[in-house]
Structure 1
Amino acid sequence: MRNWTTFLAVLLTTGLAPPAAIGGSPAVEGFQPHRASYELLLIPGKGDGSVASAGGRLDFEWADVCDGWAVKQRTRVILGQSQGGELDFGWALTTWEAKDGLAFRFVIQRFQGGEVYETVRGDAELESQGGPGIARFEEPVAREVALPPGTLFPTDHTFRMIDSALTGNPSLYRLVFDASSETDGLAAVSAIVGGRIPSDHPATLDSDLIANLPSWRLMLAYFPPFGEAELPETEVDLRVFSNGLADDFRFNYGDFALRARLMELEPLAMPEC
């Protein structure tokens, strides 16, 4: 499961001009820092039947910290297997991203049975908007990865997707570095914006933070960063609101699928910078 803020060396936008740089983004201007918790549930009838049950929790925080955007996410998933036995796994991430979209720091921990078995730590930077860059991993193995021109970091990418919805552009295809994937942290992400959802359509949680706001169904497909894979490795769709909040995630991993329902939501104060 990827970071919601959680993508080809050549940029593609299916014939549409890309949204404006992050500094002039309407999505940034309307953003609401927040903390949210989601209940994870198995979606019946999806996959190959190897997973009989699923549950878990996703806790998410997205804050404005003056010089950048700070994101924290912690996820635990428990899968009951059809042939017996249970898988208990999860991950936690802490990231910081500069508001100009040119610098990124990350720490990702992966858990099995409640114990940390891997830590991924490092930082990345881009030379300029649309330019190339470099990612430096400190853990688990020290190494450097070249970032192709046009690479985006996850928060910049998220704001651009919301801008696409606000401006009526139905699709965005970009290379994103979020450090989480096995392909050097890079993924090619195809984002399709569905039609606007009526403002009175209820969310899974009654909250003044999202009441009567514009929202859209957003569909994401994650592909390997290079090559010509016909099918995505992971598919995610969700309801995204104009202020950056999200509800009703659906994660399709092929052999099983999960839904994340918004259960708790609270605003975070804007900092005094």
Structure 2
Amino acid sequence: MKGRVCQNYLVTRHSFPYSKSTKFGLFLLISPISRTIIVVFLALVTAAGIGAVLWKSGKLETQLLEPASTASLVPHKAIYSVALYSTRNTSQISNIGGQMFYAIRKSCEGWITQNRFNLVYEYPDSPAMRLLSDFSNVESADGETLQFITRRRRDGELFEELRGEALQKDKRVVFSMPEGEAQDIPAQAIFPIAHTKSVIDAAKSGKKIVSSVLFDGSDINGAVEINTIIAGQATPTEKSAYIREEFKESPLIKGNAWKLRMAFFPMADEDSPQSDYEMTALLYENGVISHMIIDYDDFSIEQKLMALEPLEADQCGGGANAGSRTE
């Protein structure tokens, strides 16, 4: 599994700073926390016991996902603890800790999602670093349009900001920041909410392997290919293992849930047979994720659900400008 310079949805994508000692020495790469978590939240993930490496679509059954879906997502907000889960001998990180806030709201125009990460990275031979990452998306109800804002701050200083809009009909993304930047997106690419719904649909229908291409606006590198293994429906014992006592009776976690394993491949590096990173997650049929582990080359991160509340649907106000609320 290769390191990626790079963002939770099922997946949204996460990004963590990680060391790539074999290629870059002690140079620390800052990965968009959203690509892994916004693509983890809105993109998703498997239970232990399914192979470590998921190969690209040529070696897995390929199924292109379409925006149309019968899955019913529930507006909610959640807080997750983020902590270092394991390290390998080559890791240059001694600890990672913090929180991730996630919210999904229904507006008249579509879906509004927000991810906010506040993480501290500790290193054995250099000062600790705080990384704040904010991701806001507005995805139209028909899956045709995605507006996005991404901001990342390192020790309080803004070092990356992206704003733009992607249109399915044009297969094109146009950035307002950086101004003048534009990219084509793959013909088969879909947006985060459409991707989450499609994975839930696949799980409900009994499919075991799904391959898709996701664009979420979380970083300048564009779309990623995601191979997902659906490892089966979680048992009541497996579900309760990741639910805190205070909200075990919440209707948000009463439905069916599936164990997922996801592998992420950059579309810009189509010749590579190995994933940038992989994720394991427990995904409920309403879009709630109760637990997640993100595996990089040198270390793994665990996200645990700490707080969960339902949100009311928007009464047709705000909508498309909601993304600008993230400051």
- The alignment's TM-score, normalised by the length of structure 2, stands at 0.74
Q: Does 1:117 align with 2:159?
A: yes
> Does 1:155 find its partner at 2:193?
yes
Whichever residue aligns with residue 231 of structure 2, its letter is G
Q: Give the partner amino acid of 2:142.
A: D
Q: Secondary structure at the match of 2:86?
A: coil
Amino acid in the other structure paired with 1:177:
F
**TM-fit CA distance, 1:165:** 1.1
Q: Residue by residue, what CA displacement relative to the aligned partner does 1:34-62 show, whole Å, maximum 9, x if unpaired?
A: 00000001013446232111101100000
Q: 1:169 to 1:47 in 2, by over 3 A?
A: farther
Instruction: Find the partner of 1:64 among 88, 103, 106.
Output: 106
Q: Does 1:77 align with 2:119?
A: yes
Task: After TM superposition, list the pairs within 5 Å mapping 1:21-170 onto structure 2.
Answer: 21-22=67-68, 25-28=69-72, 31-46=73-88, 48-127=90-169, 133-170=171-208
Would you tell me which structure has more strand in proportion to its own residues? 1
Shift of 1:258: 0.8
Comparing 224-233 and 203-212, the one that deviates more: 203-212
CA contact (8 A) 2:131 2:155 kept: yes
2:42 partner amino acid:
T
- Is residue 270 of structure 2 the alignment partner of residue 231 of structure 1? no
Q: Please give the alpha-carbon distance, in whole angstroms, between the structure 1 residues aligned to 2:199 and 2:179.
A: 32
Query: Which residue of the other structure, out of 281, 295, 313, is the alignment partner of 1:270?
Result: 313
What is the alpha-carbon distance in structure 2 between the residues aligned to residue 258 and residue 120 of structure 1? 25
CA contact (8 A) 1:16 1:169 kept: no
AA paired with 1:113?
A: D
Q: Is the 8 A contact 2:63 2:211 kept in 1?
A: no
The answer to whether the 8 A contact 1:221-1:234 is kept is: yes
Classify the secondary structure of the residue corresponding to 2:251. Answer: coil
Residue 244 of structure 2 corresponds to residue 205 of structure 1: yes
- Counterpart residue number, 2:301: 258
**1:128-169 deviation per Cα after TM superposition (whole angstroms, max 9, x unaligned):** xxxx61100111242211122111011111111111111111
Match of 2:216 among 154, 163, 178: 178
- Tell me the amino acid that sits aligned with residue 48 of structure 1: T
Distance in 2 of aligned mates of 1:47 and 1:252: 14
Separation in 2 of the partners of 1:173 and 1:42?
28
Quick one: distance in 2 between partners of 1:196 and 1:62? 24
Larger helix fraction of residues: 2
Gaps of at least 5 residues in structure 2 are 1-13, 15-34, 45-56, 317-327
Aligned 8 A contact 2:186 2:223 in 1: no
Runs of 4+ in 1 over 6 A off after TM superposition: none
Give the Å deviation of 1:213.
Answer: 1.8
| Cα distance change, pair 169–16 in 1 and its aligned pair in 2 (3 A) | farther
Q: Supply the RMSD in Å over aligned alpha carbons.
A: 2.2
* Comparing 42-51 and 190-199, the one that deviates more: 42-51
Report the Cα offset of residue 195 of structure 1.
1.3
Percent identity reads 23
Deviation of 1:174 (Å): 1.3
SS in 2 for 1:159: helix
Give the conservation status (yes or no) of the 8 Å contact 2:252–2:310.
Answer: no
